[in-house]
A = this chain, B = another copy of it.
Amino acid sequence: MKTTTVAIVGASGYSGQELVRLLLRHPQVALTCFTSRQYAGKAVGDVFPRFRGLTDAKFVEPDPDKLNADAVFLALPHGVAAEFAKPLLAKGVKVLDLSADFRLRSAAVYKEFYEHEHPAPELLAQAVYGLPELYRAQIKRAQLIACPGCYPTSVLLGVAPALKHGLIKPASIVASSMSGVSGAGRKAAEDFLFCECNESARAYGIPKHRHLSEIEQEISVMAGQPVVINFIPHLIPLNRGIETTIVADLAAPAGDVLALYRDFYKGEPFVRVTSALPDTKNVAMSNYCDVSVRVDPRTQRLLVSSVIDNLTKGAAGQALQCFNLVCGYDETLGLLA
């Protein structure tokens, strides 16, 4: 099988580092470039000692004109990513964007949630939402993949079977998530110091967290109608992991919902439907999403719990899963174990 040359742009944040970890062990990838404005000129293994011995590469300044790779992963802030994607797409490079820039179909919704004009609205039509469980066929033939946010991945995989089977009332959905602190990114800010996060748990960003925009977009697609819902994120003292609990009113008599979920995800390599309620520790550093469901006969509601590693299935791992699809590799290559 042929090797694909790959560049990581923005390799020093937490998602970027996770890309480095996964791509270094991918058997068909030749990593040609790691960019970091902050660390340009330094060895990757000096800045991040966990990679010492695994690569001799140095960080370079990000420069789209100098990138020479078949595929590029962008782990950049929103707004910046789109600017970077433009010249790469023009050169025919495959782009896997981990930012929010290409996730929304509507530039207006983007502006509403991200509070600036979309930097490249002309590209939105060609972008594919990189959730393989919902868009596998489109991903395979895409050039520009908009990798989903971490929260949306956990919410959408949790509701998809129920929504697609008409089992729940879409507008009744309430999704509540708890995220590890790596979700806040690797930026020096008092709020994310160890002593501020340890022994701390709190809700934030309600009622209109940015990720709500893509959650509602995809729920609306599945529901076949515009839907607004509630999404409530919380910060908890973990490094990695998201647990999402979804509650929704049943729209129809619930039969064996666990069987329905198992059937929906049959053959999916990275979704495990379990009878026991899932735990983030079981998906840490893996690309799995574990899901379980309960029906409450007293309230006639469906309860779903899903867990992912926010940096793997919620970011870099899912991007790599999409990369495998785009390049024609086995979807799980480099992602199991």
List chain A positions with a Cβ less than 8 A from chain B: 14, 21, 24-25, 48-50, 52-54, 171, 174, 176, 178, 180-182, 186-190, 192-204, 206-208, 228-230, 232, 234, 236-241, 243, 245, 247, 269, 272, 274, 276-286, 288, 290, 294-296, 298-299, 301, 303, 305, 307, 336-337
Q: How far is the CA of A181 from the CA of B194 in the complex (A)?
A: 7
Q: How far is the CA of A277 from the CA of B235 in the complex (A)?
A: 12
Whether A199 lies near B241 (C-beta < 8 A) is: yes
Q: How far is the CA of A186 from the CA of B336 in the complex (A)?
A: 26
> In the complex, how many angstroms separate the beta carbon of A114 from the nearest chain B beta carbon?
17
CB closest residue in chain B, given A191: B188
> In the complex, how many angstroms separate the beta carbon of A219 from the nearest chain B beta carbon?
13
Whether A239 lies near B198 (C-beta < 8 A) is: yes
Whether A199 lies near B199 (C-beta < 8 A) is: yes
Q: Which residues of B contact A294 (CB under 8 A)?
A: 206-207
| 8 residue pairs A–B, Cβ–Cβ below 8 Å | A25-B336, A49-B272, A54-B337, A194-B197, A207-B295, A207-B299, A208-B298, A236-B236
Q: How far is the CA of A200 from the CA of B206 in the complex (A)?
A: 24
Q: Which residues of B contact A337 (CB under 8 A)?
A: 21, 24-25, 54
Whether A201 lies near B277 (C-beta < 8 A) is: no
Q: Name the one of B50, B194, B230, B298 contacting A192, with C-beta atoms under 8 angstroms.
A: B194
